[in-house]
Amino acid sequence: MNGAESLLASLLRNEVDVCFANPGTSEMHFVAALDRVSNMRCVLGLFEGVVTGAADGYARMLDRPAVTLLHLGPGLANGLSNLHNAMRANSPIVNVIGDHATYHRQLDAPLTSDIEGAARPFSHWVRTSAGANSLASDAVAAVAAANSAPGKIASLILPADAAWNEVSVAPPEVSSASLLSPPARPADSAIDAAARILESGGTSALILGARATRQAPLEFAGMISAASGARLHSQTLTPRIARGAGRVAVDRIPYPIDQAVELLKDVENIILVGARAPVGFFAYPDKPGTLFRPGARIHELVSADGDIPYALEALADAVGAKPSMAAKVDLDLPPRPTGSISPEKIGQLLAATLPADAIVVDESITTGRSFIRATQSSRPHDWLMPTGGSIGFALPVAAGAAIACADRKVVCLESDGSGMYMPQALWTHAREGLNILTIVFANRKYQILRNEMRNVGVKEIGPKASGLLDIDDPEIDWVSLAKTFGVDAQHVDSMDGFSSAIDAGFATQGPYLIEVAL
């Protein structure tokens, strides 16, 4: 058994059985070992950002890591933007990053770089394997690091000679689970303090972080809200929210800073549930950085790496809440709109047609600002957002979510500008036959940047600035692009055409793309 085979066997023993990969020369022994060590599903991405984004989507849906295979420092660099999103989403991921053979590093070959230095800002755990004999235990440690609360990025650097050398020492039979500690429960004093705040009067709000917006924790949050009158808010960008009929509604803090400040202006007490106190995405001239009112009382019930379900259940008990109190959303499907296309009508059509248990991956940016509110009473579904704000999120994450949950329809809401960061993901959608409906909103511009120009105080946008904000010359033909990658597609320019196209997309058991002209 060589080192690569030992590494793969150890990953499989620790329930890591999907590999998203874009390999190079230094990883060839790992690639060859895939044919000798069975049961690892291998998924090729044509760009490393697709690989890391797919691992993020997979982790968000299963709460366990896949492994990525990346080629040296430059390959890792290509994947960092979606590792940033994954870090902010608390997604567990194990990266295996190939490196030169140990004796070759000193020669400073063209692809030599400081891989550990590049990995650290985007990883919670980094290690370079010492040799073939250590790879099995290194894999155990990497999986344990990734699975530690609340979900972390582990990066294991694999020298080429460690992969090809023979293992001379039997690997230890250690499970990553034995290295894990359960999430820490908050102190009773933190729960009691939160209960006293809720009972003290004044307007209160619970800000729900990543693990607090799943269905079970939301039930307890809904009970607390009903018993105390506290409002429920999710962060602006949340990894995954359980939504729709039969779920507890949570009001998202909006992205535009003026709207967010207006929403929270009367909140006197903020209780953080695995979240941070809300702040603006960027700094703007003459606007506040924090979104809450000055003097608001802020109390952390539980940290992001703590036992969030326990904390909410304990707080519900402390305020005398009962399960029957939690208000659930009733199913209320709107009629399908007709006529010309507008963002409001698009939201209405999505609300009317989303299938039960859909997974919505949302990078619709400015077009989709109203979609979350519009779909609140749709059939039950999960909604995923780009938590770190790094662009090129949706198409790769949709791939990982579809592989994690092959029995569920994935709906990828993508803006045309963001989609062009990683359109290669469509090839993976086609190659793997993934059940993804991609809807591209084509306004032929970076509309969010036009809005941001106004937000930072620029009143007029001149021709040179416009040249950096518009993508209409030449126009991108998403139907042709999709078909090049093997995905069936159509273009629509009316709500009637969109309605027919979305039916076709939901009926297709595989990838399908709709380009919506705005």
**Rounded percentage of the chain residues whose pLDDT exceeds 70:** 100
CATH number for 188-325 (one of 2.70.180.20, 1.10.10.10, 3.40.50.10600, 3.40.50.1220): it is: 3.40.50.1220
Burial of residue 47 (number of CB atoms within 10 Å: 0-12, 13-18, 19+):
buried
Residue 354 has pLDDT above 90, yes or no: yes
For the chain, domain boundaries? 3-168, 188-325, 343-517
Quote the CA–CA distance of 278 and 269 in Å, as a whole number. Answer: 13
Burial of residue 440 (number of CB atoms within 10 Å: 0-12, 13-18, 19+):
buried
Sorting pLDDT into bands at 50, 70 and 90, what band is 142? very high
Residue 455 has pLDDT above 90, yes or no: no
- Give the gyration radius of the chain's Cα atoms: 24
Predicted local confidence at residue 20, as pLDDT: 98
CATH number for 343-517 (one of 3.40.50.970, 1.20.210.10, 3.40.50.2000, 3.30.160.250): it is: 3.40.50.970
175-179, 242-246, 380-384, 507-511: which range is least confident on average?
175-179
Quote the CA–CA distance of 221 and 211 in Å, as a whole number. Answer: 12
- Parallel/antiparallel/unpaired status of strands 410-415 and 436-442: parallel
Predicted local confidence at residue 244, as pLDDT: 98
Predicted local confidence at residue 172, as pLDDT: 79
Q: Enter the tokens of residue 184.
A: 């820490």
The stretch 43-54 carries a mean pLDDT of 98
Please name the residue that has the structure tokens 């793997």: 432
Predicted local confidence at residue 448, as pLDDT: 87
Predicted local confidence at residue 27, as pLDDT: 97
Let me know if the fold of 188-325 is the same as that of 343-517: yes
The stretch 408-413 carries a mean pLDDT of 98
Quote the CA–CA distance of 208 and 251 in Å, as a whole number. Answer: 10
Host H or E run for residue 20: strand 18-21
Predicted local confidence at residue 173, as pLDDT: 79
The stretch 432-449 carries a mean pLDDT of 94
Sorting pLDDT into bands at 50, 70 and 90, what band is 361? very high
Predicted local confidence at residue 171, as pLDDT: 80
Q: What integer best gives the mean pLDDT of the chain?
A: 96
Query: Where does residue 18 fall: left (phi above 0), alpha (psi -120 to 50 degrees), or beta otherwise?
Result: beta
Predicted local confidence at residue 234, as pLDDT: 97
Residue 159 has pLDDT above 90, yes or no: yes
Task: Note the pLDDT tens digit of each residue in 115-127.
Answer: 999 999 999 999 9
Residue 453 has pLDDT above 90, yes or no: no
Looking at domain 3-168, its CATH architecture is: 3-Layer(aba) Sandwich (3.40)
Sorting pLDDT into bands at 50, 70 and 90, what band is 219? very high
Q: What is the pTM of this model?
A: 0.96
Predicted local confidence at residue 454, as pLDDT: 85
- Asked if the peptide bond before residue 474 counts as cis, ω within 30 degrees of 0, the response is yes
| Contact indicator for 338, 310 with CB cutoff of 8 Å | no
The stretch 511-517 carries a mean pLDDT of 98
Task: Note the pLDDT tens digit of each residue in 169-198.
Answer: 888 778 899 899 999 999 999 999 999 999
Cross-strand bridge partners of residue 360: 383, 411
Q: Which residues contact 278 (CB under 8 A, 6 or more apart)?
A: 207, 233, 235, 236, 253, 260, 264, 290, 291, 292
